[in-house]
Amino acid sequence: MKRRDFLKFVGMASSASILASCGVEKSSEKIIPYLVPPDVEDYIPGEAMYRNTVCTECSAGCGATAKIIEWNPIKLDGQAGHPLNDGALCMRGQASLVRLYHPNRLSNPRIRKGGALEDVSWDEAIKFVRDGLSKANSSGKKSVYLAGQTTGSLSTLLDSFASQSGVERLPAYEAFSHANLRRANSILFNINDIPGYKIDESDYLLSVGADLIETFLNPVSNSQQIYKARKGGHFTWVHVEPAISLTGYKADERKTVKPGGESSLLLFLLNYMVSNGLGKNALSSNLRDGLPSISMGQAASATGLSEDDLNHMAQAFAQAKHPLLIVGGSATSQDGGLSTAVLAGMIQWVSGMIGTTVDFNNAEGMNNVGSLLDIKNLADRLNGNQIGVAFIARTNPLATVPASMKLAESLGNAAMRVVMTDFDSELTEMADVILPLSNGMESWGDVAASTAVTSVMKPVVSKLYDTLSEGDILMKLMGQAEDYGTWLQSQWKDVLGVSDVDALIKKGYADTGYSAGNITMNANAAQSFVSGNKLTGAAAAGGVLYAVPSIRAFDGRSTDIPLTTEIPDPLSTVSYGNYVSVSEAANVGEVNPILKDYPVVSVEGKGASMELPAFVQPHMPENVATIQFHQLDKSMLTMDSNTGELITRVDGASVNATGRTTKLSALAGGFDQQHRQLIPKPGDHHHEGEFEIGQTLYPEIKYETYRWGMHIDLESCTGCEACVAACYIENNIPVTGEDQHLMGREMSWIRIQPYYNEDGTMDSLVMMCQQCGTAPCENVCPVYATYHNDEGLNVMVYNRCVGTRYCHNNCPYKVRRFNYFDWTDEGAWAEPMTRMLNPDVYVRPKGVMEKCTFCLHRIRSGKDFAKDENRDVRDGEIQVACQQACPTNAITFGNLKDKNSEVYKKSQMDKNFKVLELLGTNPAITYSTKANKEEHA
């Protein structure tokens, strides 16, 4: 070989090797130890700690417990034993954890300088506000403070701030202020508040218009009390409403009343009781005479109910030992709503509910809540340039006030607008100073769960951003050096008489010992009202559109949380997109649920018009339509000029098809069981073993100690979807967005599938992976990524899955979900949402199938705990996330091999059924429904 060739070869060889070794720069993981180990007694690295806090998603004040792993709260659940919500949170409460970690949260104070908002320090912002205040005072302008419902010590602090700095504290603004109910109670019982309704102590509940399950006052405690009452045995619940709602379906009986006919119904009931001398408290003679009479026929025609319905209802109501009448929602937020409320109050007084099932000691604490009249008055003062600094905290009136008030323009006239909130909105766009509020879990505070119970909270996580709680802001504005936490603890000592703060926080709430005293009806006030007002309103002519508060967004405040929009509505299963629910009679056009094509309708009312896709709601009465409140065009809203109630009933609304169709992400493919008997009719129910178990490739499995199973009681299930939100957060399920839902790619592991029956009832089927004994999905997996383990679970081994999706294809229950994208890259877990991830559950990457695993990680830590005490797992020791979240204990989980376990007993009730049992999949979940119970009972 010549020297030149040799040199050439050596050069080539060495260059190749150097080239290959220039790899990526080193990125090895680091372990950062503590400087000093935290001396928190129940802290164990990597294990969960539990701290009490309060859910601040709405002003109900439910007690909550935050599960904290490595100092990050990763799950919020109701605080067990709390008098208001005893261990459960509503769907918005479960999802409110996202509000803490959401990347769009406001992170530092900002001041508008020359049109643009600039980040400033807190001192600078506070000084700017105080200058504004002094400037306003000197120029004779009044500064005002408008906040959402404020209770507990914050309210006292707000009063002292108002008096000290000459700021006028306006009545609190809540979109659903129940002004008519409170006006009626102040007329009859001179208490400007709404009582607590003790449903669990009543044996006959008549609810008129009040959406108890969705949003009325405290949906969680309503559902819990309904469950307790039903468990008590003899409890009937009749719900009367003009349109279709989830509450209506979940009641024992649902009656449709003509829009505006509620007052006639109540008048008939009152007359019936008075004329037959029923009830405990007689009316005074002149009140009785002044009462307009209403014949059976008049009542029937005004309400649209049949005569024997009325009769049957009146008798049942009169004969009930502890009847309870709850009026609200669409019944009172309409013209003439006040007379309905007054009539209801009189019935409550006559039938002796006051003091028993209607309890003013445990009232809602809404006495300092104003109404739209106060907003109107504020708007006028603003237009008259009398307002200096306008503080707006924890509320966004611009989003919910009728457009006719032109609040936005008038707010422009204030000298300075100081907005205290945690997310951007149209309010922050016109704000001069934005003071970001800390999340409930980052701040001290107390909230009145009711006038008798105050829930207390202490920060459970260190602040994510440079934010302050409203209490701290007020202390700074008052120039106090002390921070809100210390002031609050001293406040608790004097007001609640509690010395040991830690014990109080551990308990989570304190009894204020409030008592409204002995309440009697003010006869002559009632008398003057009855004589002065026309009690029964005229039924609306033409079409009526109801704007109902949504279970997912309440008055629109929860739309900040993407999870609440991702979870579909329990009735229409629509997740993204505005829509209006119309009746079949409106024949708006052809619906194709599979391709998600929905007809577009134009809705006119009160001079405004909207074009929306229409969802044909089965059983919806003719020419009645409903829309989610936050999706309504605000110019269709009006105000009751007398009480300031927000009128959410749009009379003379017309819904007519436009012939066009549009895409609407309604996740359910259809709403009828197509004779598949998913939920068998009473009577033709099949028994255990009637269907032989299907074949499977794998050997027969013998379960030694555990055979995990579940029982779901569809009668107690209210369809509130708290379980769906809890499952999303517990198992790190990504929020994917509208375009994925339009393609039918939903990610939730549990879905509430509504099935509408001809007889006007609806069954919502809670559907998740059935952990089938002979699972059709196991045989088709080419890589053994899903198999049946020896404890009865269909386990998904995520890192083996190669994404053929054949298992999804083979699953008759359609409960498997596929990760089309790597949702971490797609931003579903944008910083700091990664801190919300549950470390015990693997975040599935792209191309992996996922499904409910009966919270395998909870089973594993339960067994781990039991193994430490070398015993088997006791019944009820392991709670799966949906079971823990369910307010009505509809879901029971446990070991089917343990004969005296709760789930075994429930699974043996002979009126149980399994979904699609005829396919031979031998599922581990047994269901039972009301229909079966009746036939069984």
Partner 1 sequence: MRNIVPILLFGFFATMSAALMGFGAYWDTFEHAEPQPIAFPHDTHAGKLGLECTHCHTSVEKSRFATVPAMSICMSCHENAQIDSPELDKLKEYWTNKEPVPWVRIHSMADHVYFSHKRHIKAGVECATCHGDMTVVKEVKKVRTFSMGFCVGCHRANNAPQECSTCHK
Partner 2 sequence: MEFLQLNLSAPKASDVEIARYVVILLSLLVVPYLSILFGTTLLSLGLSWRGKTEEDAKFTRLSHDMADRLIGGFGVSSIMVLLPILTMGISFSQILYNTDSNIFQYFFLTFLIAIPALILTNMYKKSFETRDANPTGHYLLGLLALGGLKTTIWGFVSSVTIITFPEKWPLIQSLIPLTFDWNVVIRFLHFIVASLAITGAALLFFFFRWDDGLEDMDEGYRKYVRNFGGGVALGFAILQTLFYVWSIGTVPEFAKSMSLYGVGVGGMFVLFLTTFLLYKLLSEGNTSLVTPIFVLMLGFVLMSLVDDGVARDNALKYQHYALDQFNEKREAEVAAARAEQSGGAVLTGPEYGKTVYETYCIACHDFNNKLIGPSYMSVLPKYEGKLDELTEYIKNPVRVNPEEYPAPMMNTGWSDNDAKAAAEYLLDEYNKRK
**Which residue among 2, 3, 4, 12 contacts partner 1 (CB under 8 A)?**
12
Is the torsion defined by CA of 653, 659, 662, 664 positive or negative?
Answer: positive
Residue type for position 408: A
Residue 422's nearest CA partner among 295, 308, 313, 561 is: 561
- DSSP label of 900: T
Spell out a b/e string for 7-29, using b for 16 or more CB atoms within 10 Å of the CB, else e: eeeeeeeeeeeeeeeeeeeeeee
Nearer to partner 1, 20 or 937 (CB): 20
Nearer to partner 1, 708 or 755 (CB): 708
φ/ψ of 219, rounded to 5, equals: -55, -35
Residue type for position 325: L
Residue written as tokens 């971490």? 824
Q: Is 825 an interacting residue with respect to partner 1 (CB under 8 A)?
A: no
From the list partner 1, partner 2, none, pick the one residue 42 interacts with, judged by a Cβ distance below 5 to 8 Å according to partner type: none
For 796-873, where are the alpha helices, taking DSSP H only? 806-810, 856-868
- Tell how far CA 649 is from the center of its chain: 22
Q: Is 22 an interacting residue with respect to partner 1 (CB under 8 A)?
A: yes
Dihedral, CA atoms, 496, 500, 505, 507, nearest 10 degrees? -80
From the list partner 2, partner 1, none, pick the one residue 23 interacts with, judged by a Cβ distance below 5 to 8 Å according to partner type: partner 1
Q: Which of residues 789-818 bind partner 1 (CB under 8 A)?
A: 789-790, 793, 795, 797-799
Neighbours of 66 (CB within 10 A): 25
Nearer to partner 1, 25 or 692 (CB): 25
- CB of residue 12 to partner 1, shortest distance in Å: 6
Nearer to partner 1, 668 or 701 (CB): 701
From the list partner 1, partner 2, none, pick the one residue 697 interacts with, judged by a Cβ distance below 5 to 8 Å according to partner type: none
Q: Which stretch binds partner 1 (CB under 8 A): 36-44, 94-102, 653-661, 720-728?
A: 36-44
Q: What x/- string results for residues 835 through 874 when contact with partner 1 is judged by CB under 8 A?
A: -----xxxx------------xx--x---x--xx------
From the list partner 1, partner 2, none, pick the one residue 113 interacts with, judged by a Cβ distance below 5 to 8 Å according to partner type: none
| Strand ranges in 476-579 using DSSP code E only, listed in sequence order | 509-511, 544-548
Nearer to partner 1, 20 or 697 (CB): 20
From the list partner 2, partner 1, none, pick the one residue 478 interacts with, judged by a Cβ distance below 5 to 8 Å according to partner type: none
From the list partner 1, partner 2, none, pick the one residue 795 interacts with, judged by a Cβ distance below 5 to 8 Å according to partner type: partner 1
Cα separation, 781 vs 768, whole angstroms: 19
- CB of residue 17 to partner 2, shortest distance in Å: 5
Cα separation, 431 vs 467, whole angstroms: 17
Nearer to partner 2, 1 or 503 (CB): 1
Q: Which of residues 44-83 bind partner 1 (CB under 8 A)?
A: 44-47
- CB of residue 902 to partner 2, shortest distance in Å: 44
Q: Half-sphere exposure of residue 445, counting CA atoms within 13 Å on the CB side?
A: 31
Dihedral, CA atoms, 823, 824, 827, 830, nearest 10 degrees? 140
- DSSP label of 197: E
Cα separation, 280 vs 258, whole angstroms: 30
Q: The tokens of 908 are what?
A: 């043996």
From the list partner 2, partner 1, none, pick the one residue 19 interacts with, judged by a Cβ distance below 5 to 8 Å according to partner type: partner 1
Q: Is 870 an interacting residue with respect to partner 2 (CB under 8 A)?
A: no
Q: Which of residues 12-41 bind partner 2 (CB under 8 A)?
A: 13, 17
Q: Is 1 an interacting residue with respect to partner 2 (CB under 8 A)?
A: yes
- CB of residue 147 to partner 2, shortest distance in Å: 52
In the three-class reduction of DSSP (H, G, I as helix; E, B as strand; rest coil), residue 65 is classed as strand
Q: Which stretch binds partner 1 (CB under 8 A): 14-22, 508-516, 617-625, 680-688?
A: 14-22
Q: For residue 488, give every residue at least 6 positions away whose Cβ sits within 8 Å of its Cβ, in sequence order, or none.
A: 153, 444, 445, 446, 471
- CB of residue 842 to partner 2, shortest distance in Å: 23
- CB of residue 799 to partner 2, shortest distance in Å: 19
Q: What x/- string results for residues 886 through 915 when contact with partner 1 is judged by CB under 8 A?
A: ------------------------------
Residue type for position 64: A
Nearer to partner 2, 5 or 494 (CB): 5
From the list partner 1, partner 2, none, pick the one residue 503 interacts with, judged by a Cβ distance below 5 to 8 Å according to partner type: none
Q: The tokens of 462 are what?
A: 């260190």
- Tell how far CA 698 is from the center of its chain: 43
Q: For residue 328, give every residue at least 6 positions away whose Cβ sits within 8 Å of its Cβ, in sequence order, or none.
A: 178, 181, 208, 209, 210, 216, 217
Could you tell me the CA-to-CA distances from 147 to 392, 418, 681 in Å, in that order?
6, 11, 51
Cα separation, 718 vs 805, whole angstroms: 32
Contact between 935 and 681 under an 8 Å Cβ cutoff? The reply is: no
Q: Which stretch binds partner 2 (CB under 8 A): 9-17, 136-144, 218-226, 533-541?
A: 9-17
- CB of residue 317 to partner 1, shortest distance in Å: 54
Q: Is 16 an interacting residue with respect to partner 1 (CB under 8 A)?
A: yes
**Which residue among 2, 3, 4, 30 contacts partner 1 (CB under 8 A)?**
30
Contact between 596 and 661 under an 8 Å Cβ cutoff? The reply is: no
Cα separation, 467 vs 436, whole angstroms: 5
From the list partner 2, partner 1, none, pick the one residue 408 interacts with, judged by a Cβ distance below 5 to 8 Å according to partner type: none
- CB of residue 21 to partner 2, shortest distance in Å: 8
Q: For residue 832, give every residue at least 6 positions away whose Cβ sits within 8 Å of its Cβ, in sequence order, or none.
A: 101, 103, 464
Neighbours of 113 (CB within 10 A): 11
Contact between 532 and 292 under an 8 Å Cβ cutoff? The reply is: no
From the list partner 2, partner 1, none, pick the one residue 900 interacts with, judged by a Cβ distance below 5 to 8 Å according to partner type: none
Q: Is 312 an interacting residue with respect to partner 1 (CB under 8 A)?
A: no
Nearer to partner 1, 31 or 594 (CB): 31
- CB of residue 829 to partner 1, shortest distance in Å: 13
- CB of residue 30 to partner 1, shortest distance in Å: 4
Contact between 575 and 565 under an 8 Å Cβ cutoff? The reply is: yes
- DSSP label of 354: B
From the list partner 1, partner 2, none, pick the one residue 799 interacts with, judged by a Cβ distance below 5 to 8 Å according to partner type: partner 1
Nearer to partner 1, 285 or 799 (CB): 799
- CB of residue 42 to partner 2, shortest distance in Å: 22
Nearer to partner 2, 9 or 43 (CB): 9
**Which residue among 17, 138, 518, 900 contacts partner 1 (CB under 8 A)?**
17
- CB of residue 840 to partner 1, shortest distance in Å: 7
Nearer to partner 2, 10 or 595 (CB): 10
Nearer to partner 1, 298 or 789 (CB): 789
- CB of residue 23 to partner 2, shortest distance in Å: 12
Q: Is 4 an interacting residue with respect to partner 1 (CB under 8 A)?
A: no
Residue written as tokens 């180990």? 37
CA triple 817-823-825, angle to 5 deg: 155
Could you tell me the CA-to-CA distances from 486 to 489, 625, 784, 927 in Å, in that order?
5, 51, 58, 51
- CB of residue 711 to partner 1, shortest distance in Å: 22
Cα separation, 871 vs 372, whole angstroms: 61
Q: The tokens of 137 are what?
A: 């005072």
Number of residues that bind partner 2 (CB under 8 A): 4
Which residues in this chain contact partner 2 in the complex, by CB under 8 A? 1, 9, 13, 17
Which residues in this chain contact partner 1 in the complex, by CB under 8 A? 9, 12-13, 16-17, 19-26, 28-37, 44-47, 787, 789-790, 793, 795, 797-799, 840-843, 856-857, 860, 864, 867-868
